[in-house]
Structure 1
Amino acid sequence: MVRSFLLGALVSMGAAMTTPAIAQNVDSELLIIAHRGASGERPEHTLAAYERAIDQGADYIEPDLVVTKDGVLVSRHENEISGTTDVESREEFADRRRSKTIDGTLVSGWFAEDFTLEELQTLRAKERLPYIRPENAQFDGLYQVPTFEEIVALVKAKEAELGKRIGIYPELKHPNFLLQDEGIDSVDLLVLALKKAGYTKASDPIFVQCFEVGPLQRLNQLSDVRLVQLIAPEGGPADEPAMRYAEMATPSGLAEIAKYADGIGPHFGFILNDDGSAKSFVGDAHEVGLKVHPWTLRRENTFMPPPLRTNDNPRGVGALPILMGLLVAAKVDGIFTDHPGAAVILRESGNYEP
């Protein structure tokens, strides 16, 4: 398998390398989307991670959005915040520990929606994967949980500084759970926040993404900004129990998505065969007018397909250039990555050799 994958990779990579270097801007043919900011170098979803990604040339930064008790959109990977903040060590919040069933899974911990913004911003962010990214842990305790409004302010300040547009790619986390169980309408909150920030048109540098269907369909009625349906390798949308992501990835499923969304965000396994060759997914999506932005390009071995790992060390650096080259050869429109600086360099050079 290793040999066949690498052979396929080299063939596909050769085709990709004939493509001219692509201009670095928000209208690029290949978007570099900073997954949770430059999360391979700074604790994810902090202003420091977003600013580093922007300075490295990322076209878009991606904040995951949850909601506080007093209805403020903030950026965390999940609404359960013990993995990304120091809340577990804060005695004053010990009584906030809860157990909740979220999208069918029992989760125990501390939840953003149980804290006011003032309380939440007394916490400090920490590295979510210290065993994989111990270098990032040196920044633990330095940064607050940012609000969506603060992220927008950072983007607009950097646009003025750099003289170019910078995109935002927010993801709504668990909107059905928040609405049904907590009485918080994160869709409505986001629409209001987008209008306040001046993001109202399809031409604005913003995509809104979600793993659920209903929230995107509502957004399609409430706003003209571009929408992206996320799909995972297993399971289906939490708000549509009868749906499977695998079925949504078929030509007929993609045609249904195109009725309310402008793009699709699949795991890269939907795009590449085991030998590194491209599946029909990108062509099928393009056929119905959907952009394709796969996730997530990470350099560590633990996140790489086994043939592209350099050794057995999960923290070791795998063959990121080859993986990116395969996705480019498959004609994707953008790539989510924890390492936007490396991805921008690869895109500009057009050289995807390891």
Structure 2
Amino acid sequence: MLLATLPFGASANSDHHNSSAQSHKQSHKQPHYDWSDKWSDKHKNKRKRDAVQLGPRPTYLVNDMDAGTLKTALKQCENRSFYKTDFSIGHRGAPLQFPEHTKESYEAAASMGAGIIECDVTFTKDKQLVCRHSQCDLHTTTNILAIPELASKCSAPFTPADAVAGTPATATCCTSDITLQEFKSLCGKMDASNPNGTTPEEYMDGTAAWRTDLYSTCGTVLSHAESIQLIKGLGAKFTPELKSPSVSMPFDGDYSQADYAQQMIDEYKAAGINPKQVWPQSFDFDDVLYWIENEPRFGKQAVFLDETIDDDSLAYMESLKRQGVQIVAPPIWALLTLDSENRIVPSDYAINAKAAGLDIITWSLERAGPLATGGGWYHQTITDAISKDGDTLIVLDVLAKDVGVMGVFSDWPATTTYYANCMNL
């Protein structure tokens, strides 16, 4: 496990998370925990080695909350020291401000206390593993379109927007289009595109207003093996996600899905990484089963990324458990719902996963942009209880205390680190 989880339902409170206009965010009558800093001397001394700097955002979010017990508790932690925690997982690093899956993004995540950092794993033309969220996202996450000799190798070259025809600008550039050496010549940028672009430069210039290009001068892209060494050096642990190939498998006639899944694990073994520090993930259930059956030391912590949520029944959860799955990771919205009084509470998925003995991780906090419009895709089941950025901490509170998740992916790990430290998780 990443850390000791909380007993499910241990902190349930009927006055919890009321979402009326005046009080829906803070109706805790009693705190769930003792918020005083009761670390033993031994515990404190150990944690001093991992002290981190969180910056102003967590305090900004706390101040943005409506008055209530949770806000009071969180404000009491403003001046304490903060430490790395496995509850805080760097989703692609820290991509709220840094180009995802770059050296700079991973370093930022570690500096904000992420105890675990994610590398989404895909492969190049010469079958080398690299960190990219999708096999075919180079046109939005790197400067490949600005390099003619590499842009010409893209699966679908850049096509400018045509205002007369009403067609958007398009391009498709994949890691499997280029070699590792060519991939390493790219600069990482914020994941964005401008559908109205008439030149490659305009197309690549589409960063959302609530993100920033301030730290996107030329992000250092990484091979998977390089990410292992970097994350190890940062004192963090690993959660690599095997991405679904965008090309037909077996690739190049002989590179099978099993080869791909095995290669990812082999790179941790070659680097001498303890399997207890690795949580391999996949949306493809067959990948998870492969690790359970063929690499049981790594498969013990394999994470099934369950996105479709076709079944939230206890029978389904028990079937996963019988097949050796220990950890499920659905999106945030799948774990939360609203009760009859519009309070945020655990969903049937969350209740049944816990009842089946499964541990839960979830994704991804602070990815949806400002919450004033309802929180977007990641909060779709609790839209009526979301109205401001400070509500991020209410969502996190329910996930931690009522659902009992063992870790949370975040685009800005400082927020999750602050909460976890303050609540002594």
Deviation of 1:200 (Å) = 5.6
Residue number in structure 1 paired with 2:362: 294
Q: Is the CA contact 1:124–1:142 (under 8 Å) kept in the aligned structure 2?
A: yes
Identify which of 210, 225, 229 aligns with 2:282.
210
- Judge conservation of contact 1:61–1:169 (CA < 8 Å) in 2: yes
Partner in structure 2 of residue 313 of structure 1:
none
Q: In the alignment, what sits opposite 2:306?
A: 231
Question: Equivalent residue for 2:178?
Answer: 115
Cα distance in 2, alignment partners of residues 89 and 17 from structure 1 = 53
Q: 1:155 aligns with which of 216, 227, 231?
A: 231
Within 2, Cα distance between the matches of 1:209 and 1:13?
38
- Counterpart of 2:398, as a letter, is L
1:92 corresponds in structure 2 to 149
Distance 1:260 1:250 in 2: 18
> Quick check: 1:246 aligned with 2:303?
no
Question: What is residue 308 of structure 1 aligned with on the other side?
Answer: 386
Match of 2:349 in 1: 281
Kindly tell me: are residues 20 and 272 of structure 1, through their superposed partners in 2, closer, same or farther at Cα, counting changes over 3 Å? farther
Asked if the contact 1:69–1:112 (Cα under 8 Å) also holds between the matched residues in 2, the reply is yes
Q: Once the 2 structures are TM-superposed, how far is the Cα of residue 180 of structure 1 from its aligned partner?
A: 4.1
Q: Which one-letter code corresponds to 1:139 in the other structure?
A: Y
Q: Give the residue type in structure 2 aligned to 1:88.
A: L
In structure 1, list runs of 5 or more residues that go unmatched: 101-106, 160-165, 236-244, 311-316
Larger radius of gyration: 2
Partner AA of 1:70 in structure 2: D
Shift, 1:8, TM fit: 5.7
Shift of 1:292: 0.4
Instruction: Give the equivalent residue in structure 2 for 1:103.
Output: none
TM-score, reference length from structure 1? 0.79
Q: How much has 1:78 moved relative to structure 2?
A: 0.8
- Checking the alignment, whether the CA contact within 8 Å between 1:64 and 1:172 is kept in structure 2 is yes
> In the alignment, which of 322, 325, 328 is matched to residue 261 of structure 1?
325
> What is the CA deviation profile of residues 155-186 of structure 1, one whole-angstrom value per residue up to 9, with x for unaligned ones?
22223xxxxxx211111110485534555332
Cα shift readout 1:309-331 (whole Å, capped 9, x = no counterpart) = 33xxxxxx452211111211221
Q: Does the 8 Å contact 1:12/1:277 carry over to 2?
A: no
TM-score with structure 2 setting the length: 0.67
Q: Work out whether residues 62 and 168 of structure 1, in 8 Å CA contact, stay in contact via their aligned partners in 2.
A: yes
- Over 3 Å counting, the alpha-carbon distance change for 1:347 and 1:20 in structure 2 is farther
CA distance in 1, matches of 2:155, 2:228: 31
Q: Could you list the per-position Cα deviations for residues 25-78 of structure 1 after superposition, in whole angstroms to 9, with x for gaps in the alignment? A: 8xx997111111112231111111111111221110011111111121111111
Cα 1:197/1:43, change in 2 over 3 Å: same
Equivalent pairs counted in the alignment come to: 316
Identical columns (%):
22
Please identify, of 82-91 and 283-292, the stretch whose mean Cα deviation from structure 2 is larger: 283-292
Check 1:189–1:293 CA distance in 2 against 1; reply closer, same or farther (3 A cut): same
Instruction: Return the offset for 1:289.
Output: 2.9
How big is the shift at 1:227?
Answer: 0.3
Q: Aligned residue for 1:170?
A: 240
State the one-letter code of the partner of 2:328. I
Structure 2: distance between partners of 1:320 and 1:147: 33
SS in 2 for 1:10: coil
> Structure 1 14/148 Cα, relative in aligned 2: closer, same or farther at 3 Å?
farther
- Decide which moves more: 10-19 or 59-68: 10-19
Letter in 2 for 1:112: T
In 2, the alpha carbon distance for the partners of 1:187 and 1:209 equals 10
1:116-195 equivalent positions in 2, closer than 5 A:
116-129=179-192, 130-135=207-212, 137-159=213-235, 166-175=236-245, 177=247, 179-180=249-250, 183=253, 184=255, 185-195=259-269
